Structures are given as C-alpha cells and as structure tokens.
Amino acid sequence: MTREENSAAQANGTAHFDAVIVGAGFAGMYMLHRLRALGLSVRVFETGDGVGGTWYWNRYPGARCDVESLEYQYGFSDDIQREWNWTERYAAQPEILRYQNYVADKLNLRKDIQFSTRVTSADYDARSGEWTVETDRGDRVQTRFCIMATGCLSAARVPDFPGVEDFDGETYHTGAWPHEGVDFTGKRVGVIGTGSSGVQSIPIIAEQAKHLTVFQRTANFTLPAGNRPLSKEEITASKETLLTDRQHARETAGGLICFEYNEALAEEMTPEAREKELRERWTQGGFAFLGSYGDIMATKEANDIAADFARAQMRSVIKDPAIVDILLPDDHPVGVKRLCLDTHYLETFNLPHVDIVDVRANPIERITKSGIVSGGREYEVDVIVFATGFDAMTGAILGVDITGRDGMKLRDKWAAGPRTYLGLGSAGFPNLFFITGPGSPSVLSNMIVSIEQHVDWITDCLSRLTSGNVRSIEATPDAEDEWVAHVNELASETLYPQANSWYMGANIPGKPRVFMPYTGGVNVYGEKLAEVAAADYEGFRLDA
C-alpha cells in the first residue's frame, strides 16, 4: 500500500499493517517477535484475554503437556532458556502458561496484541494485493500478509447430543475450562471422552467427586507418564546444551531428543530382545515406547507385538475383569491414535465410586434434565464434563471466513479435505500462511520445534519478499497437488489411517476422512523447506 493509500485507509477508519497474525499462542508469539525484528508493522488478534493459546484455554484439572518440558520450550533465545527453570519432567498447564506470560513480558509482545478479539473474516483483494481482516469487535484492518497461528487443537467441540440444552446441571468442556476452576466435591459427575484430556482429568475429578461415571467410546492405549520433579543437575545441564539440542531435535523425525528410535525391525530381533526393548521404554515413560523398533508404525505384525505388550501392562493394573474388557483397546494399532500418558488413570477404575460405560456398545442417546442416557439407561449426574476433543487442524482456520482470489472460499476449497503446499500455503490464497498447517508434521511432532521451523521459514520468506520488491507469494496448483498426493502416499504406507482418529477427521461426523499431518518426519520435512527456499521458493509463484 502506498503512503497515500495508507492515509486514505486511515481516514476511512481502516488501519493498515504489513502483517496480521491470528492467535497468540506459542506460534503467534514467536511470529510476532520475528516479524517486528524485520521492521514490519504487525497486529496480532487473539480471542482470549491473555497469551497462551492451547495453554490459555485448557485449564482442566490435570492438564499437562505430553512432551517433556525441557523440550517443550522455545529454542530461539539463549536468554530465555537460561532464565526459565522448569520444575517437572512434564510441565502442568499453569507452569506452561506462566512461561508464556514470562516470554510475552520479556519480549514486550502485548503492545502489538489485541486481546478478547476473534477474527471473523479475511478477504483478499487482487487489485490492491491486500487482505482485509475483520473481527467480532468491529475492527477492519488491511494487511499485506495474513498468518494463521490458530493452533491445531483449538476449536473445542461438544458433540451434537440431543437434549444437551435441557440439562439442568453444570456442563464444561475441557478445552474451554473456567478460569476460576470447578469444585466437584460431593457431586455426581459424568465425563464423556477418554482421549488425553479425559485420561488426565478423570483421576483428579475422581478424587473430589461423590460418584464418577466415565463414558468411553474408544478404549485408548495409555502408558505411564513417569512424571517426576526435575533435579537441579538436569536443569543446569539442559541450559548448557539447549540450543544445540534444539538443532539436534530438528534433525529427528519427531522433533524430540529425549529418546532415540531403534532402527532394527521387529523380525530382526529375538523375542527376548524385543521384550527387553519394550519393557525398558515402557518403564521410561512417554512416547519412547513407539521407538522400540523400526517398523512399529509400519506393519500390523510388528505393531501387534507392541500392542499385546501394552495391553498386558494395562491389564495388570485393573482389578475387575469386566472393566478390563471395556478399558483394553482392541480396535486399532498402538500409536495410531495419540497415545495417552497415564498418571493413575487405570487405577482410578479400581475405586468403588467410579464406573465406566461403554458407549461404543451403547451410544449416548440423549442428555436429559438430570443425566445421560446410554443403552436405554439414564445415568443421573450433577455435572457433565465434555472431554470430547476438537475440530482438529482445520477447525480454527476454517472458523475464519477466508476468501482468496476470485472470490474463492477456503471452506469450499477444503470441502473434501485440506489442500496445502507444505502445510504453509494454499493455491488461490496469496500471502496467506498457516503455521503448522495440515500437510506439515505438526501434531505428529514436538509442536514447538515445528512452530519454530515454520516461523523461521516464513520470516525468511517475508524478508525475501519485502526486500526483493515481490508483491505476493502463492502456492502453484501443481505444487500443491503433488504435495497433497505425497502426504497421502506417505500416510498410506503407515498404519495411521487404520484408526478413527482426529488425525483423520474421524471424530467429527461428516468431516472428510483425510490423514492431515505429514508423516515423513520433521527432519525430512525441514530439508524440503530448505530446498524450496534455496530454489527461490520453488512451487510458489512470486509476483512483482
């Protein structure tokens, strides 16, 4: 926009920025920091009244990251990593949110963030090459670059149960938890959902509730988190190596260095060696288990060995054989739905005041004034907790009405599933970027590593555009088609598509079944990003 156009826009009440960022979680915060350093004018819009994204909203009891805290932190700043001390192997939500607020203070980020504001639409005007962004607060701003830092698990979703509005008691969703907390003391509680949020919150809710009924649709593999306080020695040692560790993490498939993948194939190992590997990794806790041998996610036979081992461990904790039958997963390979890290989850079902209802066998029919009906029986409760997950990966992006070139709606373009080039951009939507978008490693990796990878790439790209007199960048349809096909092909070589997971959009009735993340690994993906940039953004069209 020329100076004259900018003045005219301001006279019309339309502010202009070089870049608008949607969302102030880990991605939006770092993106803002990098773009300000480039000298760009930036405005961040954030729905919450504080920074944090996922960690701002998910305040349910027991909320904790399933990636170790020493790896789940920014790696771009030596100062930040030296000043901040984590206390536990896996950080709890309040500690992560404190960290994000500390970073926001340190980098003075808030002055460019408009809180309590939801972006409602973004429209591209090909003539001016500008996006017009509107919000639910009546803002209307123009920007050259629009960056969706909206997160992969941020559109919380309550299933469309008939009668849900008739319920007389309290209802909560784990992903939009009240800031003042919830006291379950003396109450009959129903929790619907047994993904990570259910698995983390159920043991703590059970400590307070008079009675707890858990409604489970899919039995999940849970394995011990092995959480513990971090020692002073571990913290000190991590500070010496964090920046090199982060580089090292980018060279791994998962963006993690807390464990290594065993490359030997299951059939190349003796049964004793496999058992030893599985047991050690199970005891270590966390996702190391999935690295027990090289083909665990590739063949059913190899996966079955690990799944049987996991079921045996789980079975040993549960006392009642009838509950074993409900809690043990048997309809999907281990690891193809997100593994849930367990802290006293399975033991909770040994308590006399905790019941589990199999809603796969008896689906929830309706919610009444006083409870939940499944299998023709009403379970009376005072409180319902929906731990029912998110419209993952695309929900928050498509929650904004995005219109690109020639009036094309992103919602229409993605009606049969998301289409991106590299998970970063989509043909027909110039200068629009997604951070950790569908088609990138995102949720299959350490999110902070993937966020930094994308933010660094976008920053270099914008630097190239603004200094090189390039007005716009846009994925070409051919490059996008090839990338979508490549992502699908890689996924089809794994066991991932064999489960009804949110990775596949399968948790939302009517959502297209497409495996959304890139399974090739952060390392391979990073090489591709670097090649594309080195070839002057090959696969993108640059217009002067």
Q: What is the contact surface with ligand NA7 in residues (CB under 6 A)? A: 153, 159, 174, 192-198, 217-218, 338, 359, 364, 387-389, 502, 507
In angstroms, what is the minimal distance from the CB of 173 to ligand NA7?
A: 9
Report residue 105 as tokens.
């203070």
Q: How far is the CB of 113 from ligand NA7 (least distance, A)?
A: 24
CB of 507 to ligand NA7, least distance (A): 4
188 vs 354: CA distance, rounded Å: 10
Minimum distance between the CB of residue 455 and ligand NA7, rounded to whole angstroms? Answer: 20
> Closer to ligand NA7 at the Cβ: 303 or 431?
303
Residue with tokens 């003075």: 108
Residue 524: how many CA atoms within 13 Å on its side-chain side?
11
Nearest-approach distance from CB 100 to ligand NA7, in angstroms = 17
Report the residue number, 195 or 333, with the smaller CB distance to ligand NA7. Answer: 195
User: Is beta strand 432-434 parallel, antiparallel or unpaired with respect to 401-403?
Assistant: unpaired
Q: What is the largest CA-CA distance in the chain?
A: 76
Q: How far is the CB of 192 from ligand NA7 (least distance, A)?
A: 5
Burial class (CB in 10 A: 0-12, 13-18, 19+), 407: exposed
Asked whether the beta carbons of 59 and 36 are under 8 A apart, the reply is no
**Cβ count within 10 A of residue 82:** 11
Alpha helices in 107-211 (DSSP H): 196-208
**Residue (198 or 335) nearer to ligand NA7, CB:** 198
Q: Write out the DSSP string of 97-118.
A: HHHHHHHHHHTT-GGGEE-S--
Counts for the chain of helices (H) and strands (E), in that order: 16, 20
Residue 73 CB, nearest distance to ligand NA7 (Å)?
Answer: 17
Q: Which is nearer to ligand NA7, 217 or 250 (CB)?
A: 217
**Would you state the structure tokens that stand for residue 379, as one six-digit string?**
């379970």
- Angle formed at CA 468 by CA 467 and CA 472, multiple of 5 degrees: 105
Contact 301/307 with Cβ under 8 angstroms? no
**Nearer to ligand NA7 among residue 196 and residue 519 (C-beta):** 196
Which of 73, 93 has the CB closer to ligand NA7? 93
Is 510 strand, coil or helix? Answer: coil
CB of 232 to ligand NA7, least distance (A): 29
Closer CB to ligand NA7, 229 or 363, in the complex: 363
> What is the Cα–Cα distance from 424 to 436, expressed in whole angstroms?
7
Question: To the nearest whole angstrom, how small is the minimum distance from the Cβ of residue 169 to ligand NA7?
Answer: 18
Q: Which C-beta is closer to ligand NA7: that of 174 or that of 472?
A: 174
Residues 191, 198: contact at Cβ < 8 Å? yes
Which SS3 state, helix, strand or coil, does residue 21 take?
strand
- Measured CA distances, 420 to 305, 434, 447, 468, 508 (Å): 36, 9, 19, 25, 21
Provide the minimum distance between the beta carbon of 457 and ligand NA7 in the complex, in angstroms, as a whole number.
Answer: 23
**Is the alpha carbon torsion for 91, 94, 97, 98 positive or negative?**
negative
Q: Which helix (H) or strand (E) holds 387?
A: none
Q: In this structure, what is the dihedral angle of CA atoms 509, 513, 514, 517, given to the nearest 10 degrees?
A: 50
Measured from the CB atom, is 425 or 517 closer to ligand NA7? 517
Rank residues 145 and 386 by Cβ distance to ligand NA7 and give the closer one: 386
Least separation in angstroms between CB 266 and ligand NA7? 25
Q: Of the two residues 110 and 173, which places its CB atom closer to ligand NA7 in the complex? A: 173
CA distance 375 to 171: 22
* Alpha-carbon 348 to chain mean position: 27
From the CB of 103, what's the least distance to ligand NA7, in Å? 21
Q: Which is nearer to ligand NA7, 193 or 404 (CB)?
A: 193
Distance from C-alpha of 301 to C-alpha of 538, rounded to nearest angstrom = 40
Instruction: Give the residue with the Cβ less far from ligand NA7, 388 or 472.
Output: 388
**How near is the Cβ of 108 to ligand NA7 at its closest, in Å?**
30
Label residue 441 exposed, middle or buried (CB < 10 Å: 0-12, 13-18, 19+): buried
Of the pair 341, 529, the CB lying nearest ligand NA7 is at: 341
Residue 113 in contact with residue 139, Cβ under 8 Å?
Answer: no
Contact at 8 Å (CB) between 55 and 27? Answer: no
CA nearest neighbour of 424 among 373, 476, 495:
476
List 134's β-bridge partners, or say none.
Answer: 121, 140
CA distance 502 to 218: 12
